[in-house]
Chains A and B, each alone.
Chain A
Amino acid sequence: MRTIITFVLALALLNSCQNTGKKKTEDGKEKSSVALTAAGATFPMPFYNMVFKNYTNETGVQLTYGGIGSGGGIRSLTDKVVDFGATDAYLEDDKLAEMPAEILHIPTCLGAVVIAYNLPGIDELKLSNDLLLGIFMGEITKWNDAAIQSNNPGVSFPDLAITFIHRSDGSGTTHIFSDYMSKISEKWAAQIGTGKSLNWPVGMGAKGNPGVAGTIQQTTGSIGYIGSEYAFAQKIQTAKIQNSSGAYVLPSIESVSAAAQGEIPADTRVMLTNSSDPAAYPISGFTWIIFYKEQAYNDRSLEQAEGTLKFLDWLISEKAQTEASKVNYSPLPAKAVSLSKEILRTATYNGKPVLK
């Protein structure tokens, strides 16, 4: 596995090296010859692809991102074959201790997990916590179940079996979804738990967001969870979810942002699910970039370290963040940005801070 990743990244590097020959950017400014390589989560990829390109145009710094999954991103950083990694699930303390050196997290944008369904003619579906549990644990098996009916007065549900579609591959989307389910139910936490892939009691799997979305679209009576960036881009019909203040909230760029208004710890490692903000969509979360605190490793030059941190500093700047909503992510709240700026300034090269 390690050799495969190294090989892919080597190819990517080779590719970016060829491009560094062109030293002129569009506006003809002074070019940097730094080339950065990153790999990890697929969830923020549309955002990264767009802003990485913008940054290259602006500064000449070549950026390569491999969407190989959060697990792959962490592995690549562990193996020190990338300048920074990307992950949808932050590293727990025990995983942090296993890393070869201290690593830091900064969030880059917010996304959510939406509940998509396929019921022709039904445009609004309100799901309380009990309904979510009942459906996804296999206790409610028909759409015309009295519990669903009484929660959605005025809607007539068909006598149709509920088909639950989950992810068949490991995914940060599953992690956020199951984290929320574990928070609203002790039963879920005990029987199914939280993770990137789970031991599902019911339903069937499909690969990736497109796989789940496609299967739902093709299967009448199905329901499943999808990453918001994909669902918003495809304009997929989603259910309103009840947050802990009791309000039913439809997922949107704004309601996802609202989920991050609460307390954020100094190292930014926090799950935002089950926010108590009345306007917040409860199945929301950060996606992170991870990098080594000590940037002098593997013969990296000071230039390379500076390039990495300057770019990350730019990524959380207003300029980059305003782009996020164009590709259906929610920008970071001010609090998260200021915390991340502080974190970036604790990174060092041979013990000396890199950013001022």
Chain B
Amino acid sequence: MNSDKITRIVLYSFSFLIILVAGGMVFSLVGGAIPAIKTFGLQFIWSNVWDPTEGSENYGALPFIAGTLITSFVALILCLPLSLATSLFLGEYFRNTRIARIIGLMVDLLAGIPSIVYGLWGFYVLRPFLIDMGFENQGFGVFTSSLILAIMIIPYATSLGNEIISMVPNDLKEAAYSMGATRMEVISTVILPTARSGIFAGYILAFGRALGETMAVTMLIGNSNRVPDSFFGTGNTMASVIANQFGEADGLKLSSLIVIGLLLFLITGIVNGIGKLIIKKMG
């Protein structure tokens, strides 16, 4: 057998393996989800009861869907100004300078910190700080979780935007400058419009990351299985409830948790789909 053939066989079989793994995941999720879907039907999605008491078992995903979407959206909004500013700083104002390299390194470092460390920092530092500031009574809840998520997703939103901004052709910028544009005008009329699809892609990536984040959120959101009653109230997210309850779950509860996993899978897929669509339109 020649080396070309071997390479091809290896490539084909490994690519096929990916399909097998992804397909197998969906298959086992759907298989595990069937009992809960049969019992609760579509109502599972908007029912806000989570009652694991034996004899009166009743499960609904609304508290967790709400918790996941609220914390992720708020985190995205909080991270937007920060990451855009950092992207511009790194990709335009101080491109290729020592300070940009240092800050870029710090941003990359943020991405490498394990989420449990964010959780601990949030628990021991951020939470007491918020209590002292008088924001919150106990410091647990949607707001604290969103804040920690916002910090966690900065690197994802920043690094892509920074790359794209620094790739905006110099010819374009120089043309704008030669027509008397100020730096602010160059940014708002040349750089951002040219780079917007890339910047947006970074935000989608960041949002996806916030949706699936588990450890840091579970330590700060309060894990009460209710739809959050206020911005500072406690709640729970989809990933967090799975991480918390999977170990001791069986029967209908196990199946309901798997449905939540499947829904999270779907939501992430939909978000990515919409994101791709918008990026295409922008491009």
Which chain A residues have a beta carbon within 8 Å of chain B's beta carbons?
1, 68-72, 75, 161, 163, 168-171, 192-200, 203-207, 211, 214, 218-219, 222
Contacts and interface: CB of A to CB of B under 8 A. Distances in A.
Q: Do most interface residues of chain B lie in helix, strand or loop, or is the interface mixed?
A: loop
Interface residues of B, number: 33
B124 A218 contact: yes
B119 to A, nearest CB: 11
A170 B128 contact: no
A206 B236 CA distance: 11
A130 B79 CA distance: 47
A70 B52 contact: no
A195 B250 CA distance: 13
Interface stretch (B87-95, B153-161, B241-249): B241-249
A339 B140 CA distance: 48
Nearest to A168: B223
Contacts of B137: 161
Contacts of A170: 52, 245, 247-249
A77 to B, nearest CB: 13
B224 A72 contact: no
A305 B249 CA distance: 30
Interface in B41-58: 49-56
B55 A193 contact: yes
Contacts of A72: 247-248
Contacts of A205: 222-225, 236, 244
B72 interface: no
Contacts of B247: 68-69, 71-72, 169-170
A71 B249 contact: yes
Contacts of B210: none
A207 B139 CA distance: 17
B188 to A, nearest CB: 44
B248 A69 contact: yes
B224 A195 contact: no
Contact of A163 (B56, B138, B223): B138
Nearest to A200: B224
Given A193-B53, A196-B248, 10 more contacts: A72-B248, A168-B236, A169-B245, A170-B247, A193-B54, A197-B253, A199-B225, A200-B224, A204-B234, A211-B219
Interface in B219-255: 219, 222-225, 234, 236, 243-245, 247-250, 253-254
Contacts of A196: 52, 248
Contacts, number: 84
A75 B250 CA distance: 9
16 contacts: A1-B254, A68-B247, A70-B248, A71-B249, A169-B244, A169-B248, A170-B52, A170-B247, A170-B248, A194-B53, A195-B54, A197-B248, A199-B53, A205-B224, A207-B218, A222-B138
Contact of B223 (A192, A193, A204, A214): A204
A228 B49 CA distance: 31
A168 B248 contact: no
Contacts of A214: 123
Nearest to A178: B53
A168 B218 contact: yes
B35 to A, nearest CB: 13
A195 B244 contact: no
Contacts of B244: 168-169, 205, 207
A168 B245 CA distance: 7
Interface centre among A161, A163, A205 (most CB of B within 10 A): A205
A293 B124 CA distance: 49
A112 B139 CA distance: 30
A198 B248 contact: no
Contacts of A75: 250
A192 B52 CA distance: 10
Interface centre among A69, A170, A200 (most CB of B within 10 A): A170
B221 to A, nearest CB: 8
A135 to B, nearest CB: 16
B52 A195 contact: yes
B263 to A, nearest CB: 19
Contacts of B245: 168-170, 197
Contacts of A169: 244-245, 247-248
Contacts of B138: 161, 163, 204, 219, 222
A218 B123 contact: yes
Contacts of B224: 200, 203-205
Contacts of A211: 219
Nearest to A164: B224
A206 B223 contact: yes
- Listed from nearest, the 6 A-B pairs whose CB atoms lie closest are A170-B248, A205-B223, A204-B222, A168-B223, A199-B51, A71-B248
A68 B246 CA distance: 11
Contacts of B123: 214, 218
A170 B242 CA distance: 11
Contacts of B55: 193
Contacts of B243: 207
Nearest to A221: B138
A195 B222 contact: no
Contacts of B249: 71, 170
A41 B245 CA distance: 15
Interface string B145-156: 000000000000
